[in-house]
Structure 1
Amino acid sequence: MEDKKVSNFAIDTIKEIRVGRNTELLRARENCMSDMPDECAFSVIYGDDYDCLDLIARTPEEVNIWVTGLIALTSGQKSLLLTVFLWIESQFDEADLEKEGYISEKTAIRLIRQMNKRLLLTRVTHKVKEAAVLKSSSSQHSGISKEQFVDIYKDLATRPEIYFLMVRYANKDYLSCNDFQIFLETEQGMVGVTRDLCESIIEQYEPAEEARKNGYMTVDGRETLGFTNYLLCEDCGIYDTNRKQVYHEMNHPFSSYFIAASYRTYLLEDQLKGPSSSDAYTNALKRSCRFIEDITILVNVWEPNEAENETEPMIFHGGTTARKVKLSEALYAIKNSAFEKSRLKFPLFIRLYVHLNMDWQLVLATTLENVLDTLLYRSKIDDVDWCNGDRLPSPEELQMKIILIGKKLENDDAESGEVVEDEDDPYIMPQQKPVHRRVRRYVLRKELSDLICPWLKPVLQKELPTTYDDSITNKCNLITFTEGNCLKILQNASAEFTQFSRDCLVRAIPNALRLDSSNMNPLEFWNYGVQFVSLNYQTPGLMMDLQEGRFSDNGGCGYILKPSLMRDDFYTPGDKLPFTPQFQILHLRILSGQQLPRPRGSNAKGDSSDPFVVVEVFGVSADCAEERTKTVRNDSKIFFNQMENENLFFQRTNFFLNPIVLGVNPSFDESFQFQISVPELALVRFLVLDDDFIGDDFIGQYTIPFECLQSGQFKFQRFSVLSFFEFFSQRGKLKLHFAAASGYRHIPLSNNEGDLLENCTLFVHVAVTNRRGGGKPRKRGMSVKRKMQRVNTGMKMTGVKSVDDLFKFAVAPLADSIDLRNKLEAAMVDWQEHCGLGPAGTIRQGLRLMHARTKTAAMNASPPLSPASSGRIYSSKTQAGVPRFQITNIFSKQYEVLSLTFFQHPVICMFGEFPDHLQKTLVSFATLLRICTTILSKTDQLLTKVVMINLFLFIFVKKIWATLDYEGQQNLIETCSERLRGLKAARASENFAWNVRLLRAQLTLMNKTQTEANDIFKQVFDAGRILGILSEKCSSQLGTKRYLHTSSC
């Protein structure tokens, strides 16, 4: 795609180098080159007219080489990597005590591990022995020479992708303190980064004394790894550190949470012959200390067998040969592990199955009281009668309590009485359950019955209960469904089941035929609100990865608050509302892998594999997706040494790139996009497999909730739109939340048992955008503009005039808010395209690019700006005609509910003559800022109107409908049917529910739009401060005043 009129151009005429499809020509030809990865394209902007040379390489690795070399040629910066060579040689010289120029293989291995502890011992040993064999064939000396040692260490320790990242970002092979500050703000999404913070990070991670003294961050192979080691630290991990503590509201009823549940926890393997142990309880609870705090534990208690010298009740799976566990042994294991860590303070449930006579029941009750002591929940001493209240207790109200679930006497005053055996007792095998099996009963003692929780009565169901069957739908029941029965109900009545699980506690257990302790898919039940999905913790695999990934959120406490839409009275799964507020795009770029081991059980020669990465998204059916990278073959190596001799690039950079065995440290460099409609239920799984291994090809995996991704994008604190009476007070509590870091992430991989693999990671780039903030560019033209002008609010009429009048009143504010949202998204995409940013580009990144391009334009101005004064292009003394821009702030009116206030917003001021392409970029950015200003000045008025309508509807629903019994609801439907004059009341009810959900979704979307506009302003001011493009007036005012709009509602 080179311009035929130009066969060559001078290096010093290059203005900019862009990576990806970030020019008009490449974007226009995206459809005809859909098979080409974005990472294989790059563009060179050159000449006074800013001509564009678009190039396509065969692989992303070639792009990295070309871009790095071009930047090195155009920057003219001096390399600091010479100190790396000297340092490696100095380490060798210290180890060479005899000064012979050789060291032994053992000494070389020990020295390399001492220099860099992150390297795998097996990998180091293999490389040293390989070098020794090659040396012995060409030399009479034994051992490793200095030249060999340097090559081995560079081969093992070098991370080319991080070197490319640094050079492309800083135009040199090191980061100055100012470069590092800009990198943290613009690329990693950090907020309020100061020079002192950057200096402290450099002091902590940079090993070279000279670099620390000058405030530089380098890339090298030392133990502390400089810039590389910083990217490997926890602050640059993919998991949002703010989610590693309990942050969900814990004062909702138990029915509002997903609660981590285990099935037959006493087993270590399968159910028929597998061993049992108290260690199984400890292991499960310790894993819950990490991911799920409180587990529902199945305790199947049987009478002791005197023939086997058993002196206390035993726990085992009846009808099998599984080893038995002593009751006291299991209880002590539970007591010691249940609340082992401080954050594990929420209740632990124990499902108790009893197979004891009256005497042994007394022993069981006494043992429970003696061992569990004050941890045991006793309803007799509870101040609240939860059975007769209007709700279940919350986890917050029963902290540090162990709650027993089982059969209980109907008459609390009786000393004993008959109860029906537990229908969900796991010891009854399928062949022992004939269709007409006689109901068995047993006598229960009062002492044991008093320890059982009265407001969680276990009930086994095969079908969905009717709404008027109080004996089943009572909130004090724990309804249990087998896997098969539950899936059958979900297939035929998913909406009714979701409403049922919103108010009642539901538990799903595996089918009895799963004798191998295999696990069911928990997503199939979580998506419909099932609180307890019981899994076999002793069985590793995909299902347990999803379980541990889900419950790693909220501090790993074992309780996850359901999404607000699942707690909504009118929620219907699968219903797609227009303008869904949570719709997001996940942008993932899989860059490389580090220290990948071979699959377990591999006995192949060599230390490498042929890995590939699979990225899976789990959630609602619309979100489930899977993508995979190419396979990196072990026999394919990149020989950069030859390229160094043939290309001027590497002579200028002095960069060392020896042959890299791709199986251990493979380079993937592939990008994927995933559409997420319900982010609260989505899980992202990274799976690494070996394409060359027959059998178990598993290398490692990592599963994380979508909302725990540390993407650096702002997240607004959602609130329950059901509580409209508290709306105004809650809006005052809304806060912007920023992840600690963004962009480039390292993902720690685990084996199939859930244990971390030593120094085994994936290096990725993560970004999250809204629905129209990414993807392919939208078509332009008048037809698109006319189409955007017709805003459809999606409101439906019910036929009841008084209700329809309320909905009609909401049409105008809804249309205005949708229009503002559309304009914001369109302006953002337009600016990104003019700026040459990808779909995941941020305001900070774009401002940095505009700043760099303006400096380049100023250097090429007539008369040109001298390099010595290039850093002062924003000074008031800059000569006329030199292009420059500043960010200043002005005050605008903001109409709130009861008052008129003012808020500051940024404005871009341009001076001098700009090149045409840069002028368009700045104008589109000014348009984006104007739209944000309009949003912040109008959204409070729109929100107030919608809230008032919701308030009236809330009164109608909560105060009228919810207070009626079933017959009263039917009478109201009949009354509405008469008033509708023949229209179907069912359709009117559906339209009413649709409109209510729509209003609530729009209310959330309005808040999100306002928050996004606030975030844009914040990024502008923060990036302007770092880049030094704020006006003096703006800088002085921002030092003492808040500049973000904050509603006083």
Structure 2
Amino acid sequence: MAGTSGFLSNGPVPWMDDTEMNNLYRDLELGTVMTLFYSKKSQRPERRTFQVKLETRTIIWTRSTDKIEGEIDIREIKEIRPGQKSRDFERYVEDSAVRLDNFCFVILYGTEFRLKSLSLAATSDEEMSMWVKGLKWLRDDTLKSPTPLQIERWLRKQFYAADRNREDRISYKDLKNMLSQVNYKVPNMRFIKDKLPDSETRNGDVTFSQFAQLYRNLMFDAQKNVSADILCAPIALPLLRSPAEAHFIPHLCDFQSFLVECQKELWASDNNKVQEFMFSYLKDPLREVEDPYFHPEEFLTYLFSKENTIWDSSLDMVCAENMNNPLSHYWISSSHNTYLTGDQFASESSLEAYARCLRMGCRCIELDCWDGPDSMPVIYHGHTLTTKIKFNDVLNTIKDHAFVTSEYPIILSIEDHCSIVQQRNMATQFKKVFGDMLLTKAVDMAADGLPSPNQLKKKILIKHKKLAEGSAYEEVPTATPYSENDISNSIKNGILYLEDPINHVKTGAPDGSFLVRESETFVGDYTLSFW
């Protein structure tokens, strides 16, 4: 691996000159004291010192100088929201003992769909801006960093986590435990000693350079058995041997030959472009020469890296010229049961699930609407233990996040189980919350097909089944009380099903009737019989 520094960047930032960037780095490293709002209700907000460790690209917070209370890998940050937009803040809105200023922001992070949140209150607008601006740039820069640099940062993070006494060395026992945590089974201590480089150790401890070399040895051993038929290029054959036998060092001309002949990379026909790529990938000033080269393990790492992906990155951006066909000509990124954060039986329904889907680029989301209190629907997975969220809250969340990632239209797929009264209230709220964003008229009356995505930019469409033409229905009186357990007088897709109060037979379904009886197994519930 190249001897890289954890402080290296990937290039200039358009909105930040070198002086401003260096000052921002210095301030984030020095850290500031901010108020942390915990996710647990039992914990009150407390002041903590927050710092950025540039060498490992992590945020840490401490109660004192000796103990790190928590940390976040900057690579895992998905969003940084200014304002008090988290549950951690909401529970203190009416608490006079807690002061909520306008200097709050939320860091959303994690590797799973359901993100974790870190809710913070700075002491001034300047301090909040420094953190929001600095973290956004650091996140983008970190994710764009070349693979060798990302590996070194990760190695340092793991090493420092084991080096609890900050002595720049760890014991064999600590190393063995660390490898177990990353799913690498170590049979015994002898195995580790055999894999370590033949350099002197202090008191039987392992330094970072030895730790990094151990990583390379383990990874090289795992990759050296890759089939030569897959690699297919002469350059790869010597690299499949053990480190002791791998004397072949791929230089610029060798790497260029591999890219052109094996990978069929058209851009690699330009020698200067290949050289520039090697410079940016290796980030090693000592090899920024006319004829740069890879170490064998670096070349193998490249084969499995994001830089060698089969995906054409130019296709990451949607070409506007290709978005003029009817909407039905496109695959649309869609979400089912958008509101759920887990299973369909007992998981939590969450506004954050809608925000997450929209910010991930989803353009079609689902709203399962059921009669709720105060004549307004709730959204949840009906007749289950999933929690309920308010219809109006969902609409406001959609409005806030709909077009952050993409300007192309949002389709709201409505699964409607509401009474006619509450459906009318839904329609009123759609117009009130979305305003001009809501598509209520045809874009082109003379058009033969659907409008194009370009014609529908920043528009919200509602997908909902209409009442069957000429169908009769009864309205539920507005005075009908709401009950969570009441499944009578239910409506499906706009058609009212009437219940016989004596035989409990519901009719109106186009494919026949079904019988509803009190359940003998589940007291207080119902059994449905179909025929």
Q: What TM-score comes out, normalization by structure 2 length?
A: 0.46
User: Rg: which structure is higher?
Assistant: 1
- Which one has the bigger helix percentage? 1
